[in-house]
Structure 1
Amino acid sequence: MDTLSVGFMTFAFFLGAGNMIFPPMAGFLAGDNYLPAMIGFLCTAVGLPLLGLIAVAKAGGSIPVITQKLPSWVGLAIACAIFIIIGPAFAAPRAGLVAYEMGAVPFLDGANATTQALYSVIFFGLAMVLALFPGKLVDSVGKILTPALIVLFAILAIAAFLFPQDPIVAAQGAYGTEPFTKGFLEGYGTMDALASLVFGMLIVDLLRKKGVTESGQQARYLSIAAIIAAAGLCFVYVPLFYLGATSSELGMGADTGGVILTTFVQQVFGSFGVVMLGAVVTLACITTVIGLLSACSEYFGELVPQVGYRGFVVINAVFCAVVANVGLSQLIAISIPVLMMVYPIAMALIAFCFARSYMKNERVGLILMVAVSTLFGLIDGVSAAGVNTSQLNFLPLYDVGMAWLLPTIIATFIALFIKADNS
């Protein structure tokens, strides 16, 4: 099997909405602190998805396989939460919104709720049809679409460094005082660490269908694919961060990074560039949505066989089209508290995959790690939602929304020394 093609396909699945809208806006706000902010962003937006894919490779399966030692209802709740978040609730609708704002709005005389609703129906309707009848779509993603995306982003990267539009100015808000931490937290927004647990499952299933059935071979393919995808994401993020940092005037008034990116392309390449950017962004986003629809529908189809895979493809696509009409900036704002709650749990699962071979009691160790990460993730999420939790400000890293980190690390360390259950 073509390893490079699998790697390109993995990269294409990740290259969706958040990958293009978060870095320009983060770079714009970070200003002269864009380097530490970018490094923090890369830790969560590239490092964590890489670890997630490798974790799936080590576990030899999917989220249900990783959580099988938890009480069944807990594993089911975690899996459902992750699939819903990266599927119909947030990630997939956001991809459709980015495709609309960057692929349609620049060419409309008057973008409004009606055009957005119509576009959502067409976009998710097409994604639904392709997810229902995929044919050789996955192969074409790896061998045709991704190389085209790489060429486009190479042109964009060169333009970002050769034609900076504005001087780099002072950082704004939290980027002025804690740029690394703020960038680290912004990386959550891509949702790629959550998606890695789902896409890993999708790729393992694809490998099985291609005749790669031995777990060691699957792990090897998936690990190489993870490295290729991580390199590709860095290739996208670094120039987009710099583009945002050098758009101090160009980005004034923009509420998302997609607006900054579109304006830059308009300035440098003219209307032809906007057409090309819109086409490629639309293709990238629909590829991601197809992957998410397929993975989510496959999981829920096995969970509720009466509805089945195809039934859930239709249900998820319709739900996505409805949620997509919330609006991009509003959807991002709503998703932040939810991500702050769920990300720590995903991090605990990934950490468990790497630590489990050293544990004497995997079941109790995993329960401890998930319980601790859930508790402190809930604290961070409630705080991000605007609830006053100042009485907990004594917790390490509470003030930067990472109260979960140290307790989860300690729980993982303790889990290594819990004695085996010999009963």
Structure 2
Amino acid sequence: MNKNKEVWITGFALFSLFFGAGNLLLPPLLGYNSGDQWFWVVLGFVITAVFIPVLGILAHAKLQGTMFDFGKKVSPAFSFVYCILVYMISIAIPSPRTASASHEIAIYPFFETTPLLTSSIYFALVLIFVLNRSRIINLIGKYLTPLIAIIIFLVIGIGLFSSGGGMNASIFKTPIVDGVLEGYQTFDAIGAVVVGGVIIISLGLKGINSSAEKKNIIRKSGFIAGTGLAVIYTGLIAVGAFYGSEIFVDGSLSNDMQRATLLRGISTATLGNIGTAFLSVLVALACFTTAVGIVTGTADYFKGLFNNSQKAYTITAIIGCLAGILVGQMDFHTIIVIALPVLMLIYPITIVLIFLNVLPEKWASQLVFRGVVLVTIVFSIPDFLGFVGLKENISGITEMIPLSSHHMGWVIPAVLSLVLLNLKTFTTKQPQMS
């Protein structure tokens, strides 16, 4: 086996499993709205949409288990509930969102079909891929990813060199923070803990069982995927900013319509009349590979819960695809609105678990895991309540929490608890008697 070839195929597959609807639609409008401050938005966006997801893949390389291993140091019960919530969220929100985005941008403009027909055909194809999961890495890494990358780089490359360069003034007061929050909506940190497990199992199915070999492949492929994501996000945000004075986006439209309008305008401006067709293929492929990764990861987890039962894998895959069809009837914007409150609660927990699992064991004891996760949950609740319409009721509390106005009130308490609990651990250790 050519190890370098396997690393690149796995890296390309990881990239495609990450790169879905939000990853394509969110950056251009973010750049358009950030205008001359686009670079600062890139920095924020890359933190939550690239850096943390890559750390999640590195954590998988270290653990080489399932998502359950991410939280088991807190407690097995907590990890079980966390896994169930993440997989339910993944099946209920980002997976159907890929079908919704494909319908609105790639299918409806040409065929004017109903969302039900689109999502039914879409998830039937997803199911075929998931049930043939032993070939997923090769199919996605060898064929789908290169096609996605070629189209994106054409749009970005031509766009950067052909635009007039006139940028709007930024509408953001704190561009980095807005970039961080927009990066939340890509679901990439959650995606890392889901698809990382898919990669581990897929490598095993290909006969790669050595722990050291798996670790090496996963780490290198994670960096390849992360580099690709960072380059493409930067390019899409920059193109959105550079075309700010050339493409009109009606601010009265919903965010999803603004994103679609801008992306169509950029594609047409860079690739001409064929740009819309290229865009449709790009959206469909990017969304499809992500849906495959989500459903496969969920099916893998429930297969493990039921003693490695293939029947459990198949049933979970079917249920996941049926859920995708049902929720896929909603428009892209509605799904994002539903997702935000959930993200404000589950995303900080996921980020903290990723960081704790990457840390050396001596800095991530069971006490540290439990304390930091508990503090993160407590300080994420105000953000969750704020997004479900209770902002007025908790305004007094949020004013006292640093960064809470930026929906990141959990960050400083989590860092402080990490430091203080480690100090407690080190100072209470008694020297061993010789």
TM-score normalised by the chain length of structure 2: 0.90
Change (3 A) 1:251 1:318: farther
1:391 and 2:391 aligned:
no
Amino acid of the structure 2 residue aligned with 1:414: L
- Shift of residue 69, structure 1, vs aligned partner: 2.3
- Shift of residue 356, structure 1, vs aligned partner: 4.7
CA contact (8 A) 1:20 1:258 kept: no
- Shift of residue 120, structure 1, vs aligned partner: 1.1
User: Residues 217-252 of structure 1, C-alpha deviation per residue, up to 9 Å, x if partnerless?
Assistant: 222111101110011101211121122213335241
Which of 168, 184, 190 pairs up with 1:188? 184
CA contact (8 A) 1:343 1:377 kept: no
Q: State the SS of the aligned residue for 1:136.
A: helix
Separation in 1 of the partners of 2:221 and 2:418? 27
Which of 276, 280, 283 pairs up with 1:278? 280
- Shift of residue 297, structure 1, vs aligned partner: 1.3
Separation in 2 of the partners of 1:415 and 1:350? 18
1:149 and 2:148 aligned:
yes
1:330 and 2:329 aligned:
no
1:366 and 2:369 aligned:
yes
Separation in 2 of the partners of 1:160 and 1:41? 20
Which of 282, 300, 303 pairs up with 1:301? 303
CA contact (8 A) 2:302 2:316 kept: yes
User: Residues 240-288 of structure 1, C-alpha deviation per residue, up to 9 Å, x if partnerless?
Assistant: 1122213335241253323311222123323322112211321221111
Separation in 2 of the partners of 1:304 and 1:293? 17
User: Residues 117-163 of structure 1, C-alpha deviation per residue, up to 9 Å, x if partnerless?
Assistant: 21111111211122123453420211122122222122111122022
Separation in 2 of the partners of 1:117 and 1:258? 20
1:54 and 2:58 aligned:
yes
Alignment correspondent of 1:377: 380
1:83 and 2:87 aligned:
yes
Alignment correspondent of 1:231: 227
- Shift of residue 104, structure 1, vs aligned partner: 1.0
5+ residue gaps, structure 2, are: none
User: Residues 28-67 of structure 1, C-alpha deviation per residue, up to 9 Å, x if partnerless?
Assistant: 1112221111111111111111111111112222221122
Separation in 1 of the partners of 2:136 and 2:302? 22
Moved over 4 A (4+): 304-307
Change (3 A) 1:66 1:135: closer
Answer with 391-400 or 215-224: which moved more.
215-224
5+ residue gaps, structure 1, are: none
Change (3 A) 1:350 1:106: same
Alignment correspondent of 1:201: 197
Q: CA RMSD in A?
A: 2.0
- Shift of residue 414, structure 1, vs aligned partner: 2.5
User: Residues 278-305 of structure 1, C-alpha deviation per residue, up to 9 Å, x if partnerless?
Assistant: 1132122111111111111111233356
Separation in 2 of the partners of 1:20 and 1:201? 24
Alignment correspondent of 2:293: 291
Alignment of 1:107-256 (within 5 A): 107-108=110-111, 111=112, 115-134=114-133, 136-164=135-163, 167-172=166-171, 175=172, 177-248=173-244, 250-253=247-250, 255-256=255-256
CA contact (8 A) 1:341 1:374 kept: yes
CA contact (8 A) 2:130 2:292 kept: yes
- Shift of residue 421, structure 1, vs aligned partner: 9.6
Separation in 2 of the partners of 1:75 and 1:136? 29
- Shift of residue 213, structure 1, vs aligned partner: 1.9
Amino acid of the structure 2 residue aligned with 1:379: P
User: Aligned residues: percent identity?
Assistant: 27
Amino acid of the structure 2 residue aligned with 1:332: I
The number of residue pairs the alignment matches comes to 413
Q: State the SS of the aligned residue for 1:104.
A: helix
TM-score normalised by the chain length of structure 1: 0.92
Separation in 2 of the partners of 1:57 and 1:371? 25
